[in-house]
Chains A and B, each alone.
Chain A
Amino acid sequence: MLAGIGVTLISLWYGQNHGLMPIAASDEASDIDALFNTMMTISTGLFIMVQGVLIVAAIKYRRRPGDNTDGPPWHDNFPLEILWTAVPAVIILGIGVYSFEIYNSMGGLDPMGNHDHGTMQAHSKMRGSAIAATLSDTPQNAPQIPSRKLVALGVGASPENEDKPADLVVNVTGLQYAWIFSYPESGVSSGELHMPVNRDVQLNISAQDVLHAFWLPEFRLKQDAIPGRPSELRFTPTKTGEYRVVCAELCGAYHGAMKAVAVVHTPEEFDGWLQSQQVASSQNLEQAVAVNPGELSDGEFLAPYVREIKINSETLEQLHPTHH
């Protein structure tokens, strides 16, 4: 009894104070941390209980020297077995429902449901019906590559933002071994991701060559970048600062070096940054990036990658179409 209370208290305390997560810098991150803390509380209790039983058994029930008799012949206890089937089932159900709620509130069930921009527009009406339509419309089982690509991937608008366009849209392209961020509304392209704080940001993620995964650990968000299949992450940064963008899907020998910086500004700072970028790249963005990366502002952003990761100019040329 006392042990039970003790384990409960330790679990409750540790579930909140494990210190395992990095800071939470987005709305989504706080939700996910709350979910994780709940799971951590239950897990700590279960973990201590199982280890406790093992240790107590090893001490209390170890065979005494000279005793070669058998133990008591207990071999089943129906109510007990029902109990340890039902209790985990209920806990699992609870975690499942809670996870579903969090996922829904993050916008996980609404990727690409919002469509004020670019390539996503055509897909909007197909959400939810895309798969059924593919099956019934093509009885001859013909390959339907365009339809397949309608399946929406990623994390979309949270339910309260569902009908609104995002405040900021950024196209993210992964290539060996760098991330390129382009801002379709202002025509800016950069090797860093800049975002205003407390704004609804949407990233349209694609890949140039192999699979990559766009991961913002402080935002708890990750989505694979898949060649030929667009995906999306939509979220709201809540803390200004510099964060890391990490590639989480094995993409080649220098996978570990595929990083970028994400900067969350105050809205004023962000506008300032955007303007400075626009001025600097006002002449001819694409040419500047591809032909002469050393001189212009975009080149400055890409230069570190050119040096570190050996992107050649052909790769950058291939990148052009995604800048439109």
Chain B
Amino acid sequence: MTQAQFQESANTEARGTAPADRHWRDYFTFNTDHKVIGIQYLVTTFIFYLIGGVMATIVRTELATPDSDFVTPELYNSLFTVHATVMIFLWIVPAGAGFANFLIPLMIGAKDMAFPRLNAVAFWMIPVGGILLLSSFLVGAPQAGWTSYPPLSLVTAQAGEEIWILSVLILGTSSILGAVNFAITIFTMRVPSMSLNEMPLFCWAMIATSALTLIATPVLAAALILLSFDLLAGTAFFNPTGNGDPIVYQHLFWFYSHPAVYIMIMPFFGVISEVLPVHSRKPIFGYLAIAYSSLAISFLGLIVWAHHMFTSGTPGWLRMFFMITTMIIAVPTGIKIFSWLATIWGGKLRLVSAMLFGMGFISTFVLGGITGIMVASVPFDIHVHDTYFVVAHLHYVLFGGSVFGIYAAFYHWFPKMTGRMLNEFWGRVHFVLTYVGFTVTFLPMHALGMQGMPRRVAMYDPKFTTINVICTVGAYMLAVSTIPFIINVIWSWRYGPKAGDNPWQALSLEWMTTSPPPIENFEGVPVLATGPYDYGMEKIQNTGERLRLKLRENATRNAQKTGIPIAEAQASTFFGGTATLVAPESEVDVDSPADESQDGE
């Protein structure tokens, strides 16, 4: 009996009997089921990804020639501004929220999120904010970059700029509401026997992400509201003509927008920590290190923002401070990467599409991390700041990192979401096209930046033409790479082979119910026969009998502490539903052998 069969047999009673019968119309309503909301998020954000991708393609087409000849320079500036805003606020951030919505309650054995209605509100703000943002093209879209630095943002395309501010405020609010929900759900709604250190690592990643969202996003709102006053009411918070200080805006903006990078990448750190062990058939290496390094990144992420301003209004000593704090982040990030490599090493790798994207994530993200250390070094950053080197770096982190993570998650959990398998062949074609297209697009940009090409330019020195043409060809490959994915998803959703409950023989709780799960996820309360990553640990099965007593005791104790019905607490323990209650005296007797057996695992 493998670990997966062991976990499944322990959960036969909790397993739902029939998948939720969802009509397609349910996905267009104000539905409070976290699984419907999760899929709503993912489909909506993917549509915005395609829209942002079209903008990127137009930008790259313009850059195929040194002259500004495909679109006007004004429209070019609008396109890269809205491209960045869409990709950040309407694709990566909400895609992370989409997976969190779908997965967190299932992973922790809960019936739904803590605040289902709030959850639906948070989702429906996304299409509202997105359509508002795109509508700015009707009046002249913002042209000041997604950073919207004043004074430029105060003097160009003002109507579009104000729409941009309102849209980002709406999307930021949505993100805050989501974060409240995730944190409270994780902290309060786990099955009683699941301690924090037994959660799947995706939940840890979402704790760290939610903390950052809650601390940083209000600061962005403050900055944007002040900018809005400058724009509409003629105040001079940031406007130098009224003795305002544009640098203050930069500080406020980056106090959110640097943590935003971690808000965008950390959910997918969590995804990778789920995908790799399942397909390597090995436990995650260094569970605690990965879990707590997320928190360390989260904290450090709050004190590095001015590294975006090394050539701006930042005095020398402050540049040094932010250089050091930024470099320190490499340590917890390195811990994660080495732990993932150790997870893969020596396993029995099932090289399915999800695993390929997971490994692709490490392969590309590591380069983004390396260039991250380079740009943290002030003397080097003075040279490459605001150049294509930074464009390359940020796309390696956000595309090579986040988007590869999103795809890994799509392939991994699609069977659970829809009850059907994706086609593996086209999944691999998608991976190869994406990986090659990505590398061809973004790798040469490092050289462009160091050679002297600044970012956000519609016209450039003709000596950079060759490299730019290569980048443009890569961008077209990336555009094409989405086609097999879209066709695969649509076809498989209708006609794909049935997935069964647990197609990957995984151990975490979302696989212990039907695919797709029933409306309240589980019929009873699921039990933890093994930890989420205990692949190959067959000793657990042998010690199961003694462990059972230990767990029952814990459950009883927890039940007294938290006030949940004792029957429910016991149901959530190992084999709890069938065993008789153990008398307090005998609990003391079994305590020590049970401890030993756990230590020996």
Q: Give residues in A with beta carbon < 8 Å to B.
A: 20-22, 28, 31-32, 35-36, 39, 43, 46-47, 50-51, 53-54, 57-58, 61-64, 67-77, 80-81, 84-85, 88-89, 92, 95-96, 99-100, 102-103, 106, 108-111, 145, 148, 151-153, 155-156, 209-211, 213, 215, 217-218, 220-224, 226-229, 231, 244, 246-257
Contact = CB atoms under 8 A, between A and B. Distances in A.
Contacts of A220: 379, 382-383
Given A67-B348, A153-B315, A256-B454, 17 more contacts: A20-B446, A35-B377, A53-B341, A57-B345, A63-B349, A69-B281, A70-B3, A70-B281, A71-B282, A74-B283, A81-B339, A85-B335, A99-B377, A103-B320, A213-B385, A213-B454, A220-B382
Contact of A35 (B246, B344, B380): B380
B349 A75 contact: no
Contacts of B350: 63
B478 to A, nearest CB: 21
15 contacts: A68-B505, A69-B536, A70-B2, A70-B281, A70-B282, A74-B283, A76-B285, A88-B334, A92-B331, A109-B320, A153-B313, A217-B452, A222-B383, A226-B247, A252-B156
A211 B315 contact: no
B121 interface: no
B386 A145 contact: no
B226 interface: no
Contacts of B241: 227
A73 B530 CA distance: 13
B504 to A, nearest CB: 12
A253 B282 contact: no
Interface string B96-111: 0000000000000000
Interface in B125-181: 143-145, 149, 151-152, 155-156
A76 B379 CA distance: 38
Contacts of A103: 316, 319-320, 378-379
A63 B367 contact: no
Nearest to B332: A85
Contacts of A32: 379-380, 382-383
Contacts of B119: none
B245 A228 contact: yes
A95 B536 contact: no
A215 B73 CA distance: 21
B73 A227 contact: no
Given A53-B344, A81-B286, A257 B459 contact: yes
Contacts of B283: 73-75
Interface in B302-358: 311-317, 319-320, 323-324, 327-328, 330-331, 334-335, 337-339, 341-342, 344-351
Contacts of A61: 280, 344-349
Contacts of B282: 70-75
B78 to A, nearest CB: 10
A contact face: mostly helix, strand, loop, or mixed: mixed
Contact of B245 (A92, A148, A153, A254): A148
Interface in B264-290: 280-289
Interface in B489-505: 505
B555 to A, nearest CB: 25
A58 B362 CA distance: 13
A246 B452 contact: yes
A22 B383 CA distance: 11
A71 B280 contact: yes
B536 A71 contact: yes
Nearest to B380: A36
Contacts of A20: 446-447, 450-451
B219 interface: no
B537 interface: yes
B145 A228 contact: no
B152 A71 contact: no
Contacts of B312: 153, 211, 224, 226
Contacts of A62: 348-349, 351
B246 A226 contact: yes
Contacts of B77: 250, 252-253, 255
Contacts of B387: 248
